[in-house]
Structure 1
Amino acid sequence: MLSRPSTISDEAIAHAVATHWLPEIADISYLPWGFGAHHWRAIGGGTTLFVTLDQLEPRHTATSLEAAYAGAAALAVSGLDVVCAPLPARSGRFTVDVGAGALSVTPWLEGRSPAEAEAREPRHAREVVLALAALHRAPPPDGLRSWTPQVGPEFADELRVRTAEPWTSGPLAEQARVALAAHDDAIKRWTDRYLELAEKAFSRRDSWVPTHGEPHNGNQVITARGLRLVDWESLALAPPERDYADLLDAADLLLPDPMMVELFALDWRLSEIVEYARWFAAPHTGTDDDHTAMEGLYEELAGGAK
């Protein structure tokens, strides 16, 4: 996120990291990176950590987030070098409740994330495909959650009701409401098709595999030791196509099921619409994050017309 969280200070984050992971904190600095979680860099005793504050609802419970990060750690221990896994706290758990969310840490990676154009280059895409193939072959970690649909059959009708009256929750609320209301028929159509495809996926549940969920370029880090994947909070059992959304140009290495590809394109779109609808129906002040969210909403609504 571009903006610091309003519910917890840098000092409180430093205290939590010192209590649970790294006793001597010499520096804590907020990182305006990514979108969805908040991040810091913590330095102390010759060690640098990447610190993440995740919000739980609606994507997770405390149990499911802990299982995702514990699962990533188990995959790393099993020999999957592509996994940059969270580090356990002194308690042995991988997440710590700090009131404002769940805190976790991973080692600091020296490297860089590829730009979108670089990530689409065949050589790099093949490297990602091979890394994901290894992940998909791995035995599922104990306690790993299974993918479930992001919305139910009532979603489109409920959203239509919610957008029938003006929103007054912030400076971008009405703009978001109008955009959502203008696409209510499309959202209904997407939802119906999504749930139809989800039923097909569930009928093949015995073939589901561990999936990262969001292996896009922003969650890839090119290091001196090769490619690493970060941000494992979406780790779940699912059809392998869940990880293929940005990799279809590398089709010579893939044999994706077109229906499952469509399912997870809709999964992403509808989950984003859910999040942005919630975002702008809630109080907001027009921050840089709010404007980024508005751009994201427009992108997802327009994406269905392609």
Structure 2
Amino acid sequence: MREPPADVTATEVLSVVRSHWDADAITLVYLPVGFGAHHWRASGRARHWFVTLDALLPRHTAATLEAAYAGAAGLAAGGLEFVLAPCAGTHGGFTVPLAGGALSVTPWREGSPGDGTMTADAAASTRARLDRLHAATAPHGLPRWRPLVGAGLTDDLATRTRRPWTEGPHGERARAAVQARLGEIGTWITTYHRLAGSADACAWVATHGEPHTRNQLDTAEGTLLVDWESLKLAPRERDLRTLGEAGHPQPDADPAMLEMFDLEWRLDEISQYATWFEAPHAGSEDDRIALGGLLSELDRT
């Protein structure tokens, strides 16, 4: 996120880091990176940390986020050196409740994140890492994938878009765009749930969920895969969809599962952004990015 959270101060974040991970942490700098979570760099006398404040519902409960991060740590401990996982705190867990969300801490690694593009070489190396991830023994207690978007989304959006969205500068544009696509959203929902019904017949493995290049960090020691909040047990196409979307089809992937996970991404984004713009917003840079995301998902072929 480009702006710091409004409901928590840097002093509060640093206090949690000091209490649960590094008593020597003395500075905290907000990092305007990523989208969907807030990040800081915490620094102590000997170490630096990448600090994340994740939102919870509807995507996570405190328990499922804790399980995802614990699972990532288990995968790293099991030999997947490319997994940059959060650290357990002195309390034994990987997250601490804060401001309605959950705070976690990951070791800082110097490197260059991807810019969203994926070359053929990057796709091949990403697939090699994903193959190792998918072949690994899934950690005990890993969250299990289930459909993210309910069958009633279309009716819900139809009801909500009958009223003006006047709580911020982008509300009415967002409402009109969603309202104009209600028919298509209904078709996507029907197809999504039909395809989801066949997921149980697939082999389920540990999946990252968003292995695009923005979640890859090139370091002197190799490329690391970051942002493990989306780790779940699921069909492997949940990850392979990302490669196809970047222009690198995976011939051994199940086309039905690829379509299902693509629809899930699209519908979940639409649902989240509709909630965003129906609520108060000020027209910030984050709001502008979110509006672009909504319009892109509504209009792409």
Normalization by structure 2: what TM-score? 0.97
Return the alpha-carbon distance in structure 2 between the equivalents of residues 130 and 31 of structure 1: 30
**What is residue 217 of structure 1 aligned with on the other side?**
213
Return the alpha-carbon distance in structure 1 between the equivalents of residues 183 and 21 of structure 2: 49
More displaced stretch, 145-154 vs 225-234: 145-154
1:217-268 CA deviation, whole Å, 9 max, x = no partner? 110011111111000000001110100123134446x511111111111111
Match of 2:189 among 187, 191, 194: 191
Number of aligned residue pairs: 299
Return the alpha-carbon distance in structure 2 between the equivalents of residues 145 and 100 of structure 1: 20
Is 1:227 aligned to residue 223 of structure 2? yes
**What is residue 123 of structure 1 aligned with on the other side?**
121
Instruction: State the Cα distance separating 1:5 from its structure 2 match.
Output: 0.2
Instruction: State the Cα distance separating 1:53 from its structure 2 match.
Output: 0.2
Return the alpha-carbon distance in structure 2 between the equivalents of residues 165 and 7 of structure 1: 28
Match of 1:257 among 254, 257, 279: 254
Q: Which ranges of 4 or more aligned residues in structure 1 deviate by more than 6 Å?
A: none
Aligned ranges 1:81-230 → 2 under 5 Å: 81-117=81-117, 119=118, 121-204=119-202, 207-230=203-226
Return the alpha-carbon distance in structure 1 between the equivalents of residues 175 and 280 of structure 2: 14
Structure 1 regions of 5+ residues with no counterpart? none
Is 1:288 aligned to residue 285 of structure 2? yes
Return the alpha-carbon distance in structure 2 between the equivalents of residues 275 and 115 of structure 1: 23
Return the alpha-carbon distance in structure 1 between the equivalents of residues 34 and 160 of structure 2: 29
1:166-207 CA deviation, whole Å, 9 max, x = no partner? 112222111111110000000000000000110011233xx1
Return the alpha-carbon distance in structure 2 between the equivalents of residues 100 and 287 of structure 1: 22
More displaced stretch, 175-184 vs 152-161: 152-161
Match of 1:276 among 257, 273, 278: 273
- Does the Cα contact within 8 Å between 1:172 and 1:280 map onto a contact in 2? yes
**What is residue 2 of structure 2 aligned with on the other side?**
2
- Does the Cα contact within 8 Å between 1:170 and 1:284 map onto a contact in 2? yes
Match of 2:264 among 240, 243, 267: 267
Instruction: State the Cα distance separating 1:123 from its structure 2 match.
Output: 1.3
Normalization by structure 1: what TM-score? 0.95
The one-letter amino acid paired with 2:295 is Y
**What is residue 69 of structure 1 aligned with on the other side?**
69
Instruction: State the Cα distance separating 1:26 from its structure 2 match.
Output: 2.4
Return the alpha-carbon distance in structure 1 between the equivalents of residues 116 and 279 of structure 2: 31
State the SS of the aligned residue for 1:233: helix
1:31-56 CA deviation, whole Å, 9 max, x = no partner? 00010000000000210000000010
**What is residue 244 of structure 1 aligned with on the other side?**
240
Return the alpha-carbon distance in structure 1 between the equivalents of residues 18 and 63 of structure 2: 23
Is 1:19 aligned to residue 40 of structure 2? no
Return the alpha-carbon distance in structure 1 between the equivalents of residues 147 and 242 of structure 2: 20
Instruction: State the Cα distance separating 1:99 from its structure 2 match.
Output: 2.8
User: What is the identity percentage for the equivalent residue pairs of Structure 1 and Structure 2?
Assistant: 48
- Does the Cα contact within 8 Å between 2:56 and 2:100 map onto a contact in 1? no
Return the alpha-carbon distance in structure 2 between the equivalents of residues 292 and 108 of structure 1: 26
Return the alpha-carbon distance in structure 2 between the equivalents of residues 284 and 92 of structure 1: 37
- Does the Cα contact within 8 Å between 1:7 and 1:100 map onto a contact in 2? no
Return the alpha-carbon distance in structure 1 between the equivalents of residues 35 and 150 of structure 2: 25
The one-letter amino acid paired with 2:59 is R
Structure 2 regions of 5+ residues with no counterpart? none
For the aligned residue pairs, the C-alpha RMSD in angstroms reads 1.1
- Does the Cα contact within 8 Å between 1:80 and 1:135 map onto a contact in 2? yes
- Does the Cα contact within 8 Å between 2:210 and 2:242 map onto a contact in 1? no
The one-letter amino acid paired with 1:302 is D
